[in-house]
Amino acid sequence: MPVEGSSGADRTVCVTGAGGFIASWLVKLLLERGYTVRGTVRNPEDPKNFHLKEMEGAQERLVLCKADLLDCESLREAINGCQGVFHTASPVTDDPEQMVAPAVDGTKNVINAAAEAGVRRVVFTSSIGAVYMDPNRSPDEVVDESCWSDLEFCKNTKNWYCYGKAVAEQAAWEVSKELGVDLVVVNPVLVLGPLLQPTINASIVHVLKYLTGSAKTYANSVQAYVHVRDVAEAHLLVYETPSASGRYLCAESVLHRGDVVDILAKLFPGYPVPNKCSDEVNPRKKPYKFSNQRLKELGLEFTPVKQTLYETVKSLQEKGHLAPPPQENVAIS
């Protein structure tokens, strides 16, 4: 269902950080659905962005704009004339100086530029990192859109990625309210799935290390997972549904690392997947409960985590990041 009043002539949107893992998929889906896309990248001539130019519809309807989140003028140029903005660009680091200021100031700059351009809706890519880092939450409590990470806890544990995502999202809500910008937020968990970009991103390393032999054990911890295509689809759904508002938690399932390595070992028995936990003293951590009901109500059907893991590994093989195993892998069932 398109945004009210949209027609072929005004389906121009901006995607910040267009060469990223989620953003590349978002650009792909937008082009497939007939949108004209302005993608901001640091350098349009960098080979790591060439995969965008090769997408179906890119020649006719994709413009790569040289822009920097901390350069307001470059953002204005990219966003001016757009009906919607998808702000996906964000640093992924645990260095507080590289994470916090660019994430917060960059977000404010994007929303300011969107307000000046009279953009109809901004969709902001936040993170589970802004939602679930709370040491006081009961294990029986369901993690949903009403939850926020405890900033002091993030600071004390030096989790600058989660701290940065939380303060950036808070800034997005404050600035959009002040400027009257219609903001909707997607909060994905750890994102896996096939890579469109040539480089390996941080979340994919999470799986790759179990296949290369670099991880000899797995941690006694849990993690929520979601397929990258579902995350891109979620962004489109909240953009195109006029009644969409607030935050949308984008998660398919929460697994213990032990479950992840079990799935990988069964699907790809030829790889040296670890079968030993690094913590054999404490009880096995239990997955937390979460709700993805808001996105399901918009019609999103999540890809099962087993399929997501399978597609991630196949993509790593196809892109040459992972040598095929000596044994034939079993088909997914």
Q: Residue 202's CB: how many other CB atoms inside 10 A?
A: 12
What the block records as the tokens of 27 is: 């650009």
Residue type, 47: P
What the block records as the tokens of 93 is: 């680091």
Task: Give residue 250's Cα distance to chain centre.
Answer: 9
48 is catalytic: no
Closest alpha carbon to 212 in 299, 101, 294, 317: 317
Q: For 82, phi and psi rounded to 5 degrees?
A: -95, 150
Which of the following is catalytic: 48, 158, 165, 285? 165
Q: What value, to the nearest 5°, has the Cα angle with vertex 78 and ends 48 and 187? A: 70
Closest alpha carbon to 112 in 146, 91, 85: 85
Closest alpha carbon to 82 in 109, 120, 112: 120
What the block records as the tokens of 90 is: 């964000």
Across the chain, which distance is largest between two alpha carbons, in Å? 62
Query: Which contacts qualify for 181-184: CB closer than 8 Å, 24 or more apart?
Result: 181/111, 181/114, 181/115, 181/119, 181/122, 182/120, 182/121, 182/122, 183/111, 183/121, 183/122, 183/123, 183/124, 184/121, 184/122, 184/123, 184/124, 184/238, 184/239, 184/244, 184/245, 184/246, 184/248
Q: For 255, phi and psi rounded to 5 degrees?
A: -125, 150
Q: Which residues are catalytic?
A: 165
